[in-house]
Amino acid sequence: MHTLLVMNSMHKLTPSPVGSQIAAAQRHIRTPAVELSQATVTFGRGDNQVPALSETSLKIGDGEFLALVGPSGCGKSTILKLAAGLIKPTTGAVFVGGREVEAKALRIGMAFQNPTLLPWLTIEKNVMMPLKIVRPFRHEFRAKKKTEFRDRVHALLEEVGLKGFANHYPWQLSGGMLQRANLCRALVHEPRLLLLDEPFGALDQFTREELWSTLQDLWLKLKPTVLLVTHDLKEAGYLAERICVMSARPGRILDDSAVNFPRPRTVEMTFEPGFVELNQRLRGLIVEARSGNTATSEVRP
């Protein structure tokens, strides 16, 4: 049962390479950490209703690294917010760690494109914030903030190359450094589910590639479930084990492919034929989705 992946209407899209890709991806699913079951999201009321997500079912296995790609405004971030429990589905259900999402069954870490570090706190205190909020750490926060927690934050900062910046303020750091600190904050409480919303979107190519490698290392080490929303197909291919392509608004999942390149991956691998081929196929799907060829009119019976 835990292999149900696809849109209710997916079978209508055949013949296409989609069907076979789905089969390939299904084999990778382990115990689901996140499950969307026919979730629909509509923003606004009455005449101002905007459908953001049309009936979507999706399972993300425990410890899996899933990337969501698609045209802008297609509901990628909506899925992320559903998983974070920030919004509720209008219809359908969302399970995180096997429970309805309000239960907060899993520890969640989150990072946005905008680093959203708090300007009045030093980098150390910013990164430490989740430990102040999340159970069970919050009960020990007073006792351990100057010892164990502080060491943990410093170790993490060192790992991402921010050694010596613990006592700086966010405005003293560059964009790439802020995003590194942001990643640390998302990871410091050892979340089992990491939600990333275009975390590297605003960075230059080289900084981005560096951070891919950093994120890959952290993922291989801690093995959280990751849901990465991105515009960058190369980024998706480099980082993810599985890539889902979404259609234009209201979003649906069009394609679900496994990515089987060996780990750890390198930037050089992104120039190899297999990688380029994957990239081009995904790009084709998104171009098609943008032009509306996969007609939303045929989605609903």
Question: Which residues contribute to the site for another protein (CB under 8 A)?
Answer: 81, 84-86, 104, 108-112, 114, 116, 118-120, 129-130, 132-135, 168-169, 171-172, 185, 189, 195
Would you say 7 or 111 has its CB closer to another protein?
A: 111
CB of 231 to another protein, least distance (A): 18
Would you say 109 or 251 has its CB closer to another protein?
A: 109
Torsion on CA atoms 235, 236, 240, 246, rounded to nearest 10? 160
Q: Which helix (H) or strand (E) holds 179?
A: helix 175-187
CB of 114 to another protein, least distance (A): 6
- Region for 223 from its dihedrals, namely left if φ exceeds 0, alpha if ψ lies in -120 to 50, beta otherwise: left
CB of 99 to another protein, least distance (A): 13
CB of 86 to another protein, least distance (A): 6
Compute how many other C-beta atoms are within 10 angstroms of the C-beta atom of residue 42.
15
Would you say 85 or 92 has its CB closer to another protein?
A: 85
Cα 221 from chain centre:
17
User: What is the Cα–Cα distance from 111 to 187, expressed in whole angstroms?
Assistant: 9
How, if at all, do strands 225-229 and 193-197 pair? parallel
CB of 18 to another protein, least distance (A): 32
> Two tokens at 134?
């999340």
Q: Is the peptide bond before 262 cis (omega within 30 degrees of 0)?
A: no
3-state SS assignment for residue 88: coil
Would you say 29 or 110 has its CB closer to another protein?
A: 110
Would you say 70 or 199 has its CB closer to another protein?
A: 199
Q: Of the candidates 263, 256, 262, 205, which has an alpha carbon nearest to the alpha carbon of residue 235?
A: 205
CB of 292 to another protein, least distance (A): 30
Distances in whole angstroms, Cα of residue 29 to Cα of each of 24, 41, 237, 287 = 10, 25, 18, 28
Would you say 112 or 212 has its CB closer to another protein?
A: 112
